[in-house]
Amino acid sequence: MTSHSPAPLRLRGHTFDASRPAVMAIVNRTTDSFWAGNRHSSFESALQAVDSAVEAGADIVDVGGVRAGQEGDWVDDAAEIKRVVPFLRAVRERHPELVLSLDTWRSSVARAAAGNVDLVNDTWAGHDHELASVAAELGAGYVVSHTGGLRPRTDPVGIRYAAAGAGRAAEDDAAVASVLRTLADGARRALKAGVPADRVLVDPTLDFGKTTLHSLAVLRATGQVVALGFPVLQALSRKDFVGETLDLQADDRLEGTLAATAVAAWSGATVFRAHDVRATRRVVDMVASIRGDRPPAVAVRGEPGEGPSIQLG
């Protein structure tokens, strides 16, 4: 596996690149998020979650008001706006330099968040064709995703990708090819809509429209996604592909998530959407230093001190 140099992401005066990867904290204003540890229907609980994420090293906070999967209640535009827009406004007042992301597939919700959002995280691959244009109007970045063509809040069932040959490898190659094609097309549409290239993020969107085997193959192909020339977001945190790979429930998926994070970071991903901010911060910073892109925070071991210098041969 080889590492790749990522394109920079620039949002709200911050630049995220190989030397400074970004951790995107997840704050869900929902009662039914798939992981119970991130359900913040209470305004105060959500604000405290943001405070904790910032203290732990988050660069971006991604705020969502609707569960991604099909379980749980349907949430219409008005209810979603009520959940996220006043909250984004409060976070902006509390943390004026923090990059704020809105997790929505609806242009109406993004418009309502004008002035309080720096990134529109469209996890449903342009289902609302106006969303990229709205992001451009707001001066925000835009996340291009891959769902295999599924509609919002649709869980994958019986997913197959048309392969040129037979067997597992051909199926995996077809899934990777679909991801690369969809992300490249989506990025071109975002540019045409007016979003600057350094504000276009591409997200392979593991689990969405994919089996666990597809997601593992796409994760291994992170370098190919980086080679598209846009900063890459990897949303890996406690996902089902980790749970199925290790046969673990969401509460026990941290180590698997961090292993996947290290692979994606080495391969050149720039932004990491995470529930566990402090652990993710340490992993991506360590990988950046192993790559040689980030200097160690402290480097005094073996340097001249009070004792004699030693020359080794």
**Per-residue pLDDT tens digits for 180-231:** 999 999 999 999 999 999 999 999 999 999 999 999 999 999 999 999 999 9
Are 201 and 233 in contact, with CB atoms under 8 Å apart? yes
Q: How far is CA 310 from CA 53, 221, 226, 299, in A?
A: 44, 45, 43, 17
Q: Is 300 part of any domain? A: no
Domain that holds residue 230: 15-291
Q: Is 9 part of any domain? A: no
For the chain, the domain total comes to: 1
∠ CA 9-10-16, nearest 5°, is: 50
Q: Is 69 part of any domain? A: yes
Q: Is 209 part of any domain? A: yes
Q: Is 307 part of any domain? A: no
Q: Is 191 part of any domain? A: yes
pTM (2 decimals)?
Answer: 0.93
Cα 33 from Cα 50, distance rounded (Å): 16
Cα 185 from Cα 151, distance rounded (Å): 18
Average pLDDT estimate for 284-312? 89
Q: What's the CATH code of the domain at 136?
A: 3.20.20.20
Q: What length does the chain have?
A: 313
Instruction: Provide the pLDDT for residue 312.
Output: 83
Please provide the distance, in angstroms rounded to a whole number, between the alpha carbons at the two ends of the chain.
32
**Stretch among 146-155, 173-182, 195-204 having the lowest mean pLDDT:** 146-155
Q: Is 296 part of any domain? A: no
Q: Is 301 part of any domain? A: no
For the stretch 101-143, pLDDT in tens is 999 999 999 999 999 999 999 999 999 999 999 999 999 999 9
Cα 219 from Cα 264, distance rounded (Å): 7
250 phi, psi to nearest 5 deg: -55, -35
What is the number of other CB atoms lying within 10 angstroms of the CB of residue 14?
15
